[in-house]
Amino acid sequence: MTRHLIRLIPFLAAVPGVAVAQDEAERLVQIKAMFDPAAIVSGPDLVDCTLSGGTETTCFSITVKSSLAENEMGPWCPRNITDGPEVSGIWPHEGKVQDADGAFVKNLSTFYDDPNWQLFDPATGEVNVTEGKEACELAARPNVDPAYQNHCVECQTSYMEQEAVLTYVIPMQPVDLDRPERPGPFVGIGLAFNGIKYDAPAPVDRILGAYTLAPFDDCGGHVNPHAGYHYHAVTGCSPEIAVIEDHAPTIGIAMDGYPLFAQLDPDGTEPSDLDECRGHVTEGIGYHYHVADAGANQTIGCFKAEYGCSLDDPSQTCDATKRPPPP
Ligand SMILES: [Zn+2]
Ligand SMILES: [Zn+2]
C-alpha cells in the first residue's frame, strides 16, 4: 500500500489546493513510474503548452504506444450467428453492455426495430465482416461506403503501415473551467497506463445509421486505422494502481490533468456524490473522475478543467485552442 501511495503523489501534487511540496523533475519521475515501461517511447518531459481555454502553462509531454500484443486485442465481430460471446466483442446500448455475439447479430432488426438490418446471410448464418485493410477504411470512415452497409466493421492493427505512436501533452496543474466542457471528437478523454487512449464516445448513431456495428472487444477497445487500438469503455483490463483503502484504483490520467479512477469502489458501489463530469473530491486524492459503466459509451461526463493535446508529431507544440477539422 505504501508503494501505491507514493505512486499517487504526482496526482496529489497536481490537484489545486493540495499542498505537496515537490519539484517538477521529481513529479515527472513519479508520473513515469505509473506507466508500463513497454508503453513509453519518450518522456515525460516538461513543455510549454496552451490549454483548451487559452491558458499558457507547463505541461508534461509523454510519447507512448500501446503495450498490448496482437493476441491481447479482440475478438470483435462474430463470424456466424451461432458464435457465442467468447468469440465476440461487446456493444453499448442505452447505458448497458450487450454481447455483440451471433445471437445479437441475428436479432438486430428486432433489437433496433428496423427491418433494414440484415448483417448475415440468411442461408448460412455467416456474418458480413469487413475483410482486410481497404474494407476497414471504407467502413470505418464517417460516411460509410454504401457497399459496407450491413457489415460488422473490424480493423486490425496489422493493417497499419506503422504502429500508432501518440504524444500526450497534459497540464501539470489542472486549470478549472468556469463551465465544464463535454468531450468532443477532437481530443481523447485520457491515457491509460498501458499507453492506450481512452477515447471520446464512439459515434454510435452514425455507425448504426449506416447499418454497421463496430464492436469493442471485451476490454472496451477496437482499432481504427489512424489511431490504432483505443478504448471506448472501461472493463477492468487496463492497468490499475491502488491508491487508498476502500477506494477504486486509478486507471489513468485525463487530458485535463485530473486522475481517472475505476467506476466502482471495492465494495462494488459507485460513489454517490459524483458531479456532472463524474468527478468528486475525496480526502487524500483531491478532485478525480470515476469512469462510467462500460455500456455508457462515455468514460467521463465532461472535463472540469482545460485540456491539453494528443499529437501525432512529438515535435509539435500543444495549442489546444486550435482544433483540427472533425474526422
Ligand atoms: Zn473507436
Ligand atoms: Zn473517488
User: pLDDT tens across 255-282, in order?
Assistant: 999 999 999 999 999 999 999 999 999 9
Residue found by looking up cell 446471410 in the block? 121
CA distance 264 to 240: 12
Q: Please list, in sequence order, all residues whose beta carbon lies within 8 angstroms of the beta carbon of residue 245, skipping any fewer than 6 positions away.
A: 1
Ligand at shortest distance from the CA of 230: 1
Å from CA of 234 to ligand 1 middle = 13
Ligand at shortest distance from the CA of 250: 2
In the chain, % of residues over pLDDT 70 = 92
| pLDDT, tens digit (0-9, with 9 covering 90-100), for 15-47 | 443 444 468 888 899 999 999 999 999 999 999
Which stretch of DSSP H or E encloses residue 289?
strand 286-290
Lowest mean pLDDT among 43-52, 67-76, 134-143, 305-314: 134-143
CA distance 47 to 41: 16
pLDDT at 22: 64
| pLDDT, tens digit (0-9, with 9 covering 90-100), for 204-243 | 999 999 999 999 999 999 999 888 999 999 999 999 999 8
76 with 217: CB under 8 angstroms? yes
Å from CA of 72 to ligand 2 middle = 29
CA distance 300 to 225: 24
Range with top average pLDDT, 18-22, 293-297, 323-327: 293-297
Q: Name which residue leads in pLDDT, 156 or 142.
A: 156
pLDDT interval class at 143 (50, 70, 90)? confident
Lowest mean pLDDT among 1-15, 200-214, 244-258: 1-15
CA distance 287 to 254: 12
pLDDT at 162: 87
Å from CA of 260 to ligand 2 middle = 9
Ligand at shortest distance from the CA of 216: 1
Å from CA of 245 to ligand 2 middle = 11
pLDDT at 161: 87
Ligand at shortest distance from the CA of 185: 1
What mean pLDDT, rounded, does the chain reach?
Answer: 91
218 with 235: CB under 8 angstroms? yes
Query: What pTM, to 2 d.p., does this model score?
Result: 0.91
